[in-house]
Amino acid sequence: MIRQETQASGNGILQTALHNFEQAVNRLQLSDEIAGKILGPKERIELTLSPILPNGHVLNLKAFVVRHNDVLGPAKGGIRMTPDVTLDDVTGLAMEMTWKTSVIGVPFGGGKSGIRVDPMSLTPEGKEVVIRAFTRGARRHLGPEIYVPAPDMGTNELDMARIRDCISYSQATSITDGCFVTGKPVILGGVAGRREATGKGVVYTVLALCRKLGMKIEGLRVAVQGFGNVGSVAACEIARNGAKIVAVSDVTGALGAPDGLDPAALAAQVQQTGSVVGFPGTKEVDPAQVLEADCDVLIPAATQSQITEKNADRIAARIIAEGANAPTTPEADGILNRRGVLIIPDILCNAGGVFVSYLEYTQETQREQMTIEEVEGRLATRMTDRFRDVDELTEKNGLTMRDAAMNLAVQRVVDGVLARGLLP
């Protein structure tokens, strides 16, 4: 029923999201009525934007906004700016956000946006024009009670500042009335620690799993695919806890460092050159080797569908911590589960960002100011508590962590649907 309704095909984020939902529907024995209501998406918008770049060139591009579900609160989810993002990708990512906000326990639903352009092809001024064009085009779909975006691949805190500025400018006010966007710079109402929250959250779940397994962090060998916001912060944080970063890749190339590399110095290089390539003391390797690196923990932190039935057999890691959204296809998931590889699923593993976005949302709504200590303390507690909840269900019902997290997430949304009532 689910596939027929969405007509999804292929092997992308939407198919992975639908597969995971379908499995949860079967495990929880949900009725067709409830499953159909949750399947959504509530709103799927395609926009055509025609911003005029500072060089006078008119760019015609597509942008997408999807509100998957808002039973538990306003839709929440980042803006992806990549040259190949599709409406189906954004729908799958929005669906994942519904489960992520639910499992991490914040009063939000799931949403996502996409802007189909290569951010690396734009000057900083050109990117600002594109972001402002998106904000004006999507304005009707944004709002503290509707959909609140944040950064995702290809967007950052400066872009979020421009969204807030564009909205407050159009209202002729200094600030917006409530929180329209999270992940802003601290100087414009952002919360300290938001930028690092996703990467640190990933590491808190790895530490919790290692504690449970009796594995020492000291000397743990870690490979990281993607060295942007999530990957670089996760690498620095896990190295700070004593682990060794033995392989890293980004879109420009890949590095092997069997004796470990300094991720903070690598992040500084990436800031300057935009690439991990050429880092002293490392050797360049085939990007595929990073996923298959000889390591204990693999952190995919780039993009979707990277671990597939083609390479799942060759993954050497004992633990996969899904920093990226939907990095593992359902076929690969099956292979890895059979091999006993432990996967901390994306909806739990990378939920630190949306949790701290929730802190930013409440801070702005209440015109409060939170300290970095408060934010980091609450993030660590929430990630560890939710990991424990998922782990308990995993053990109790003999499930994988992905299935347990999905059961918890979908059940909370079902409870919300039933509490609201089925009729509007």
Residues that bind ligand NAD (CB under 6 A): 151-154, 198, 225-231, 249-251, 287, 301-303, 323-325, 350, 353
Task: From 387, 319, 404, select the one nearest 352 (Cα to Cα).
Answer: 387
- The CA distance from 22 to 42, in Å, is 18
- The CA distance from 311 to 45, in Å, is 35
Contact 329, 389 (CB under 8 A): no
Output 108 or 414, the one with its CB closest to ligand NAD: 108
Specify the DSSP class assigned to residue 143: B
**200 a catalytic residue:** no
Least distance between ligand NAD and beta carbon 348 (Å): 11
Output 86 or 225, the one with its CB closest to ligand NAD: 225
Output 74 or 231, the one with its CB closest to ligand NAD: 231
Least distance between ligand NAD and beta carbon 34 (Å): 27
Least distance between ligand NAD and beta carbon 39 (Å): 21
Residues with Cβ within 8 Å of residue 149, at least 6 apart in sequence: 77, 78, 79, 111, 113, 142, 160, 163, 181, 182
Contacts 24+ apart (CB under 8 A), 34-37: 34/414, 34/417, 34/418, 35/1, 35/2, 36/1, 36/5, 37/417, 37/422
Output 35 or 203, the one with its CB closest to ligand NAD: 203
- The CA distance from 424 to 419, in Å, is 12
Contact 219, 242 (CB under 8 A): yes
- The CA distance from 267 to 407, in Å, is 37
Q: Which residue in 42, 76, 100, 112 is the catalytic one?
A: 112
Output 69 or 101, the one with its CB closest to ligand NAD: 101
Least distance between ligand NAD and beta carbon 290 (Å): 7
Least distance between ligand NAD and beta carbon 270 (Å): 7
Least distance between ligand NAD and beta carbon 377 (Å): 19
- The CA distance from 398 to 193, in Å, is 36
Residue nearest ligand NAD, CB atom distance:
228
Least distance between ligand NAD and beta carbon 323 (Å): 5
Output 211 or 283, the one with its CB closest to ligand NAD: 283
- The CA distance from 277 to 254, in Å, is 7
| Phi/psi at 35 (5° precision) | -60, -40
Output 64 or 417, the one with its CB closest to ligand NAD: 64
Q: At what angle do helices 330-339 and 13-28 cross, to 10 degrees?
A: 60
Contact 308, 284 (CB under 8 A): no
- The CA distance from 357 to 161, in Å, is 14
Catalytic residues, which ones?
112
